[in-house]
Amino acid sequence: MGKLKVALYWAASCGGCEIAQLMIGEKLLKLVEVADIVFWPVAIDVKYKDVEAMPAKSIDVCLFNGGIRNSEQEHMAKMLREKSKVMISYGACAHEGGVPGLANLHNRERIFQTVYFDTVSTDNKDKVVPQPKCQVPEGELNIPVFYDSVQTLHHTVDVDYTIPGCPPEERTTWLALEALITGKLPPKGTVITHNAKAVCDDCARRKGEKRVRAFYRTWQKVPEPETCLLEQGFLCAGIATRGGCGAPCPAANMPCTGCYGPVEGVTDQGAHFLGAVASIIDSKDPDEIKKIVDTIPDPVGTFYRYSLPDSLLRRARIK
């Protein structure tokens, strides 16, 4: 069997997925033994034209990270899908939109207004806004079209597998790569992790009955080191988040923020988290319940930190 041809690409993401791929460390050398990397802009000098010239399905596996935020990313996703036998959605942004997906609370106009006009250091008396087509003295320049919404990769093209996380932990990346190398691939559509149950299943903190009368912000008190953070009133998303990461955030005394996405069988992670939180509020008095709920001032950022574009609503309606 010839070497596997692998492509790695990034769309609307931060580069953390690339660093996560490098995190497999010495196992990289093992990967290079069995695979040729045919496209990876962060590390090798292959250009778009080279990819365009590749025959259909000539790439064995494409690891695609980042959401779809503009026309170029959509184009690259479609092109790489056509060239690749297996398309893997890598990381929270491709999987669910990720943190940049919070931009779906706004639209292009509002974002441009803030970035190019309202930010305090911007000096834009001439009211200039970047244009997809722009005439400069020497000719025309083009940049991609910025869309109103962030879309996930699976909303844009057919995806075979998902590796979740922001970014995926090293063990998760390797679990998937090993499956690829050995050819022992799970059924199409699988979200590849060590644990399809909740992060709580990975978490070493002691769990008891969850009854909460007040929620705390992380800056308001120092958590007790041994017990479940949610029981202490911190909004830990572990209860509604797929495990397999090893629960590193609660181990560092900070709540899980949900980056591995929903647990198996759940579509809307935020609704699941919200439901779980509602069920542990220890009161039957509507006024008291309202007071307790008011201690959650940013529900979207808390419950849908990574998953707004993949939620049932997908985006805010802008009047």
- Which residues, numbered 226-265, are part of the site for other proteins (CB under 8 A)? 248-249, 251-254, 257, 259
**How far is it, in rounded angstroms, from Cα 276 to Cα 261?**
15
Q: Smallest distance, Å, CB 212 to other proteins?
A: 18
When binding is defined by CB under 8 A, the residue of 130, 189, 194, 227 that contacts other proteins is: 130
Interface region with other proteins, contact rule CB under 8 A, candidates 47-55, 175-183, 188-196, 270-278: 47-55
Q: Smallest distance, Å, CB 188 to other proteins?
A: 28
Q: Which 190-219 positions form the footprint of other proteins (CB under 8 A)?
A: 217-219
Phi-psi sector, 72: left (phi>0), alpha (psi -120 to 50), beta: alpha
Q: Smallest distance, Å, CB 184 to other proteins?
A: 27
Cβ within 8 Å of residue 129, ≥6 positions away: 112, 116
Between 110 and 210, whose beta carbon lies closer to other proteins? 110
| Amino acid at site 208 | G
Between 188 and 221, whose beta carbon lies closer to other proteins? 221
Q: Smallest distance, Å, CB 161 to other proteins?
A: 21
Interface region with other proteins, contact rule CB under 8 A, candidates 99-107, 179-187, 198-206, 261-269: 99-107
Look at strands 146-151 and 68-70 and give their pairing.
Answer: antiparallel
* Contact call for residue 45 and other proteins (CB under 8 A): yes
Q: In the Cβ-directed half-sphere of 299, how many Cα atoms lie within 13 Å? A: 12
* Contact call for residue 97 and other proteins (CB under 8 A): no
Q: How far is CA 146 from each of CA 41, 70, 132, rounded to the nearest angstrom?
A: 21, 5, 8
Residues in contact with other proteins, counted by CB under 8 A, come to a total of: 93
Q: Is there a contact between 72 and 41 (Cβ–Cβ < 8 Å)?
A: no
Q: How far is CA 285 from the centre of its chain?
A: 38
* Contact call for residue 270 and other proteins (CB under 8 A): no
Q: Smallest distance, Å, CB 120 to other proteins?
A: 5
Q: How far is CA 155 from each of CA 14, 60, 73, 290, 314, rounded to the nearest angstrom?
A: 20, 22, 13, 36, 11
Between 139 and 208, whose beta carbon lies closer to other proteins? 139
